[in-house]
Amino acid sequence: MSDWQIAELAEASIKPLDRLASEIGISFDELIPMGRHVAKVDYGRVLERLGEATRGRYIDVTAITPTPLGEGKTTTTLGLVQGLGRLGKRASAAIRQPSSGPTFNVKGSAAGGGLAQCIPQAPLSIRLTGDIDSITNAHNLAMVALTSRMQHENNYDDTRLARAGLRRLDIDPETISLRWAIDYCAQALRRIRIGLGGPMDGLEMNSGFQMAVASEVMAILAIARDLADLRKRMDRIVVARDRQGREITTADLEVAGAMTAWMVDAVNPNLMQTIEGQPVFVHAGPFANIAIGQSSIIADRLGVRLAEYHVTESGFGADIGFEKFWNLKCRLSGITPDAAVIVATVRALKMHGGGPSFKPGMKLDEAYTRENLALLEAGCANLAAHIQIVARSGLQPIVCINAFETDSSSEIACIRRFVEQNGGIAVLSEHWLKGGAGALELAEAVMTVCNRKTQTFEYLYDHHTPLRQRIDRIARMVYGADGVEYTGNANTKIKALEQDPTAATFGVCMVKTHFSLSHDPQRKGRPAGWTLPIRDVLVYRGAGLVAPVAAEIKLMPGTASDPAFRRIDVDPDTGRVTGLF
């Protein structure tokens, strides 16, 4: 059966919301029901009631460098929670809300797979409770405020502006840093021309669209500690500069309060469940290659207060997702992890070892379905890099071999030996096939590592380390680069930021391809002898992040020739959604 069919069968016996909440310690009056099987959690009431209760164990799930073959990070996150549940532990997960772009394109839903899924699947995959809609509307409201203000300033003199209670901001249209947002992969909207028609139709200028989940508003939702923190950050979003070079913010446009009004409900995490009935907090969004790519700090604050073991998920591989979890999210939340799981598959490691190229929809080459120890051993170099990344944080890496039926016993044994030789713990997990019962070895390993007293979690750099040194440290010690080269105006921007006391200690949120440890998506395995090129530096003052851009990254991905939406439909008699994967 396909994942959506498995999910549909599981939903027939889904746990009632009140029981799901009470089992984790949430009272029904702390829920905001959003249908029969999904609710928002009034996090403020829950955290106020719990106070500084004993904190549960905190686990991050990351992976090797992604391949088109898939590694199963969300599936492993949910399988681990189910495995912990089978061992009698009160466990919860925090995962990111899927973006409609990948869901209707080639990646599909982010609900997990097989017998380790988040249900109900269709609401998770399509709209959920409207958080991404709220982010899109809040973001686009800033664009409305910006473009209308520019039109009025172009058409009105200072006297007429004053009568409207406005001062002239004198915005330079060449410095606009925002684009419009939409939650689809729509490459035709990357570059557009707006304001055509005349003075009453807006100021004519170049513009474009970006993915909604790459919005700074999404980053703020992911890292805000509460609504008050979110509101303060909304004021600081920079939209452009004036003709004298001064930054123009959402506060200058007097739109930040209205933007926050869109986010009042969205700031509450969404409560769903695994197929086996453990709570899953779904909050914030994906795309760790161009954004922070983490489930929210608010969701994790809830999870570690309510559960004995709380498992959170970071986007893409350890070089991107775990690095941002380690040095950004943990620093901002004040919650330090007890364990980290690296997800790997035999077939993905074979691709890193030089296996044939593959794209979704292609027939899988026999190199990935038959035993090939030479390819596997070559690809383990990529796994070694991720083991070392996690180990640098002070945690002993747990490598979860996400099992496929084509894996041979010799291939599994090869990975186990390699991981142990490199200081990690290797476990085989069959959660996709068997649910929690297939993840017992993984759950036991996680519990063992969490209860060790010898681990000391440490950040990669001090928060006050100069910006250029932080970037260099990430490049060398995480990606394996020989150094960093600044091109274009990136060097000028870095110098200006290091002289700016309000920005010098902003978090570093790297923008880099997820398909390679390097900046080049074609370089698989563990590239050596390369330099990381930084061609631009983006500044997100609301989120408090500096984003060095390595090579070319699209803030608006494209839709493929064979997208998932071709197979998604609705049963007209029942209204059920079919064809999600």
What mean pLDDT do residues 229-244 have? 97
432 is catalytic: yes
* Residue 107 appears among annotated catalytic residues: yes
pLDDT band at 358 (very low <50, low <70, confident <90, very high): confident
State how far the Cα of 314 lies from the Cα of 93, in Å rounded to an integer.
Answer: 12
Q: Does the domain made of 131-263 have the CATH classification 3.30.1510.10?
A: yes
For residue range 439-453, list pLDDT tens digits in order.
Answer: 999 999 999 999 988
Where in the chain do CATH 3.10.410.10 domains reside?
Answer: 467-550
CATH number 1.10.287.40 is the correct assignment for the domain at 467-550: no
pLDDT higher than 90, residue 70: no
Whether 248 shows a pLDDT value over 80: the answer reads: yes
CB of 344 within 8 A of CB of 402? yes
Q: Which of 4, 262, 325, 432 is catalytic?
A: 432
pLDDT band at residue 59 using 50, 70 and 90 as cut-offs: very high
Per-residue confidence band for 179, with pLDDT thresholds at 50, 70 and 90: very high
Band of residue 106 on the pLDDT scale cut at 50, 70, 90: confident
Q: Tens digit of pLDDT for each residue in 38-50?
A: 999 999 999 999 9
The chain-wide mean pLDDT, for the chain, equals: 93
Please compute the mean of the pLDDT values over residues 296-318 and round it to a whole number: 96
Residue 289 · residue 553 · CB < 8 Å: yes
User: Tell me, what's the pLDDT at 315?
Assistant: 85
Report CA-CA distances (Å) from 10 to 80, 120, 203, 404, 569.
18, 9, 53, 22, 20
Of 104, 316, 506, 515, the catalytic one is: 316
Contact between 422 and 384 under an 8 Å Cβ cutoff? The reply is: yes
Mean pLDDT of 398-402: 98
Which of the given ranges, 120-134, 388-402, 492-506, has the highest pLDDT on average?
388-402
Q: How far apart are CA 567 and CA 221, in angstroms?
A: 32
Predicted local confidence at residue 173, as pLDDT? 94
Closest CA to 72 of 292, 345, 322: 345
Identify the CATH homologous superfamily for domain 3-129+266-450: P-loop containing nucleotide triphosphate hydrolases (3.40.50.300)
Q: What pLDDT is attached to residue 109?
A: 74
Answer yes or no: 96 catalytic: yes
pLDDT at 87: 98
Q: Which of 40, 96, 231, 347 is catalytic?
A: 96
User: What tens digit of pLDDT does each residue of 456-502 get?
Assistant: 999 999 988 999 999 999 999 999 999 999 988 899 999 999 889 88
Cβ(436)–Cβ(276) below 8 Å: yes
Residue 447 · residue 441 · CB < 8 Å:
no
- Catalytic residue selected from 75, 77, 274, 513: 75
pLDDT at 232: 98
pLDDT of residue 487: 87
How far apart (Å, rounded) are the C-alpha atoms in residues 428 and 442? 7
pLDDT score, position 71: 85
Task: Using pLDDT thresholds of 50, 70 and 90, give the confidence band for residue 308.
Answer: very high
Cα dist from 460 to 175, 322, 529, whole Å:
34, 12, 22
Q: Which of 180, 287, 322, 404 is catalytic?
A: 404
DSSP H or E segment with residue 472: helix 467-474
Question: Using 50, 70 and 90 to split pLDDT, how confident is the model at 101?
Answer: confident
Residue 434 CA: distances (Å) to CA of 15, 121, 437: 19, 19, 6
Residues 476, 296, 183, 73, CA torsion sign: positive
Question: Is 404 known to be catalytic?
Answer: yes
**Which residue in the list 91, 116, 142, 288 is annotated as catalytic?**
288
Higher-confidence residue: 136 or 578? 136
> How much is the pLDDT for 450?
96
pTM of the model as a whole:
0.94
Q: Is 288 a catalytic residue?
A: yes
For the ranges 127-131, 139-143, 314-318, the maximum mean pLDDT occurs at 139-143
* Residue ranges matching CATH 3.30.1510.10 in the chain: 131-263
219 counts as catalytic:
no
User: Which helix (H) or strand (E) element contains residue 305?
Assistant: helix 297-306
Please determine, for residue 287, whether its predicted confidence score (pLDDT) is greater than 80. no
Indicate which residue of 40, 57, 73, 541 is catalytic.
73
Residue percentage of the chain with pLDDT more than 70: 100
Q: Which residue blocks in 195-238 are alpha helix, DSSP H?
A: 216-223, 227-235
Q: Looking at residue 386, what DSSP letter applies?
A: H
Q: Which residue has the tokens 């142990």?
A: 420
Q: How confident is the model at residue 362, as a pLDDT?
A: 77
Tokens standing for residue 84: 């912990």
Q: pLDDT of 406-415, one tens digit each?
A: 999 999 999 9
pLDDT at site 352:
95
Pairing of strands 91-95, 309-313: parallel
Q: How confident is the model at residue 387 (pLDDT cuts 50, 70, 90)?
A: very high
